[in-house]
Amino acid sequence: MKQEIIYKGEDPRRLSSFEIEVDKKHKKFNFKDFKKLTEADFNRLNLESKFSKIPFTKSAENTYQGVAKLPIYFHQDGDHIILISHGEEQQGLYSIMLYGVVKKNSNVNIYHNINYLDDVKIMGVSFPQMKDFHNPPTKAIYSDRNYARNHVSFVPDEVRMDLFEVKKDAKQTDFISAGYLRSNGFFIRKSVFNLLKEFNIPDAKFIPCTAYQNNKAEEIYFLNILESTRVELQNSTFHISGGIHSSIDEKIIFNNLKELRQKKKELVKTPERPSLIPFDMKINAGTDFLKIPGTIDFFISENLLTKLEKENISGYEISKISYNVS
């Protein structure tokens, strides 16, 4: 893909807006709509497959640089991803370089692994933000395994969800990190609840909760997500792999969730105790938030991630998926 100089000159005002040809049409863009390209963005947008040779380099901060070590920025415009470098090349000389306008993969499902963010600068405290109970009626609540169990059905109604305590120095983020029910979903504020109502989240339930911070109550939600029925297990593959003093490596396909769960129970009882690991997952199109069966992996769609970013939702992080998804 050939690079193109959009602007090069001595006027810094020219950096604020510029024209780029997208799908054979010239469109005007504002620089404020572009975001610095990070390694996480590079991976989730699958940019490596778009270039025969990557025309920029990675910096020590896990971002990317182009000509004259100017940062690489990207913007998603409909079905297209625009990549530019932008800034002051040397004193008094400014430039915008176009590195490519590439089309997103529209023929496959694009998903991303989502988890709570673990960053003290943003969260205000070390993980988790929410810990302990607020004036619990009995100390027995601390030994209630329902708060740690990986439930195969929704959290029982009798479990108290109105006594959570947020650390006093925790910052206000939209996702609220917690060790409670970590394998069952996410604690979220109303900002996320309102946003998620626009998306397709099967096998899920929003449970109203109450959290206290510095003795002040706040109504939040727990997004309880079960193992997804939207994963086509008959067209998906798992590995039985590893184990104690063992090198087991066997592929397996399940007809339904019941078979998968039974196999997991059987593997735990074997002397080797190998793991059941996803290898190739086929997900029904249109699913925006799900939990992969047999795991504690939560995925969100590209559309949902784009919305979270657009609305500046905080408190989550995205990582690369370690197996095939389509």
Distance in angstroms (rounded) separating the CA atoms of residues 39 and 63:
6
pLDDT at 314: 97
Average the pLDDT over 73-102 and give the result. 91
Average pLDDT over residues 96-119: 84
Closest CA to 147 of 135, 130, 124: 130
**Tens of pLDDT along 44-69?**
777 877 776 777 888 888 889 988 89
Residue 243 has pLDDT above 70, yes or no: no
Return the bridge partners of 6, or none.
Answer: none
Q: What is the pLDDT of residue 133?
A: 96
Query: Could you tell me which of 43, 76, 94, 92 has the C-alpha nearest to residue 322?
Result: 43
Contact 224, 205 (CB under 8 A): yes
pLDDT of residue 156: 95
What digits encode the pLDDT tens for the residues 70-81?
A: 999 999 888 889
**Amino acid identity, residue 241?**
S
- pLDDT value, residue 241: 80
Q: How confident is the model at residue 122 (pLDDT cuts 50, 70, 90)?
A: very high
Q: In this predicted model, which residue has the larger pLDDT, 272 or 106?
A: 272
**Averaged pLDDT for residues 103-111:** 68
Question: Residue 107 — very low, low, confident or very high, per pLDDT cuts 50/70/90?
Answer: very low
Q: Point out which residues pair with 258 in neighbouring strands.
A: none
Mean pLDDT computed over every residue of the chain: 90
* pLDDT category of residue 99 using cuts at 50, 70 and 90: very high
Q: Would you state the pLDDT for residue 249? A: 72
When pLDDT is averaged across residues 9-33 and rounded to a whole number, the result is 93
pLDDT number for residue 244: 60
pLDDT value for 300 = 96
**Straight-line distance from the first to the last Cα atom of the chain, in angstroms, rounded to the nearest whole number:** 27
Query: What's residue 213's pLDDT?
Result: 98
Instruction: Give the mean model confidence (pLDDT) for residues 205-214.
Output: 98
The backbone torsions φ and ψ at residue 6, rounded to the nearest 5 degrees and listed phi first, read -85, -40
Q: Judge whether residue 259 has pLDDT over 70.
A: yes
Token readout for 279 is 């290898």
- The pLDDT, as a whole number, for residue 247 is 61
- Of 158, 155, 162, the closest CA to residue 135 belongs to 162
Sorting pLDDT into bands at 50, 70 and 90, what band is 268?
A: confident
pLDDT tens digits, one per residue of 177-199: 999 999 999 999 999 999 999 99
Write a three-state SS string for the chain.
CCCEEEEEECCHHHHCEEEEEECCEEEEEEHHHCEECEHHHHHHCCHHHHCCCCCCEECCCCEEECHHHCEEEEEEECCEEEEEEEEEEECCEEEEEEEEEEECCCCCCCEEEEEECCCHHHHCCCCCCEEEECCCCCHHHHHCHHHCCCCCCCCCCCCCCCCEEECCCCCCCCECCECCCCCCEEEECHHHHHHHCCCCCCCEEEEEEEEEECCEEEEEEEEEECECCCECHHHCEEEEEECCCCCEEEEECCCCHHHHHHHHHHHHHCCCCCEEEEEEECECCCCCEEECCCCCCEEEEHHHHHHHHHCCCCCEEEECCCCEEC
Choose among 237, 227, 231, 325: nearest CA to 279: 237
